Amino acid sequence: MKITIVQPDIEWENKKGNFARIERLLSDIRTGTDLVILPEMFNTGFSMNPEKLSEPPDAETYEWLRNISLDGNFGVCASYIVSDNNMFFNRWILVTPERESWFYNKRHLFRMTNEEQTFTAGKTRKTFTFRDVRICPNICYDLRFPVWSRNRNDYDLLINVANWPAARHDVWLTLLKARAIENQCFVAGSNRIGTDGAGINYSGNSMIIDPKGVVIASAEDRECSITAEISMQELSEFRNKFPVLEDADDFTFNL
């Protein structure tokens, strides 16, 4: 599978502006890709204003994602603010040109910005299969909680979409590598650049990491896209040769 991370400078609370920005960045992709990954709250920035910015599950942003997917013949995933059953969610969604879709609601809400007071936490860890790759989604702060993303031999690619501040750049890199190594999986971390409406600075550093913790594609502090191909055959061979997951501890969640 060939995956592409798009790293934008997100315009604060401006959906149409961000749609246009992403479309321009996608036009620079010269080779075919299977999956495009956008950052957390890619259409608004990390805003705690869901009363103004939220939308129903199948509304404007969903339609835009679906059209982008159909036009490019690739899956596309990102998170944005969704209102569902009178609750607000920071929701990750994957839509595909085959007209399939899956979603995941952010489990760990970032209390340092009072996200947990505004949004409802997800309760279900999820995995999906797209083009023969098993995918587990995370959103930003989820990355700090390894039990939540523990590989139960049920995924091959961990995706984290984030608005991860520049001040914690080293933490971002360390945790992405750790999740790849401990779970024997590929990891794709999608971040943004620029400064948001709350004055927080972001340095990008989106990256794709292999199961040994080696960075195979990375982005600088600028608007860009990065692409890498991940091999399920190579992953299977590595897991068979070094079967760490066979010795993993069993556990259950108490939610």
Domain boundaries, given as residue ranges, for the chain: 2-247
Question: What pLDDT is attached to residue 255?
Answer: 67
Please tell me the pTM assigned to this model.
Answer: 0.97
Q: Which of 83, 72, 8 is nearest to 36 (CA)?
A: 72
Is 224 known to be catalytic?
no
Is 126 known to be catalytic?
no
pLDDT tens, residue by residue, 113-136? 999 999 999 999 999 999 999 999
Question: What pLDDT is attached to residue 30?
Answer: 65
Would you tell me which CATH number, out of the four given (3.40.309.10, 3.40.50.670, 3.60.110.10, 3.40.50.10610), belongs to the domain 2-247?
3.60.110.10
Q: Give the span between the Cα atoms of 60 and 57, in whole angstroms.
A: 9
Indicate if the pLDDT at residue 253 is higher than 90: no
| Sign of the four-CA dihedral 111, 218, 61, 157 | negative
Q: Give the span between the Cα atoms of 1 and 64, in whole angstroms.
A: 23
Question: How wide is the angle at C-alpha 231 spanned by C-alphas 32 and 33, nearest 5°?
Answer: 10
pLDDT tens, residue by residue, 149-195? 999 999 999 999 999 999 999 999 999 999 999 999 999 999 999 99
Question: What pLDDT is attached to residue 251?
Answer: 75
Question: What pLDDT is attached to residue 249?
Answer: 86
Catalytic residue among 106, 115, 177, 185, which?
Answer: 106
**What percent of the chain is modeled with pLDDT above 70?**
98
Is 40 known to be catalytic?
yes
Distances in whole angstroms, Cα of residue 233 to Cα of each of 33, 66, 140, 173, 212: 18, 30, 29, 26, 15
Catalytic residue among 77, 136, 140, 185, which?
Answer: 140
Catalytic residue among 40, 55, 115, 223, which?
Answer: 40
Indicate if the pLDDT at residue 202 is higher than 70: yes
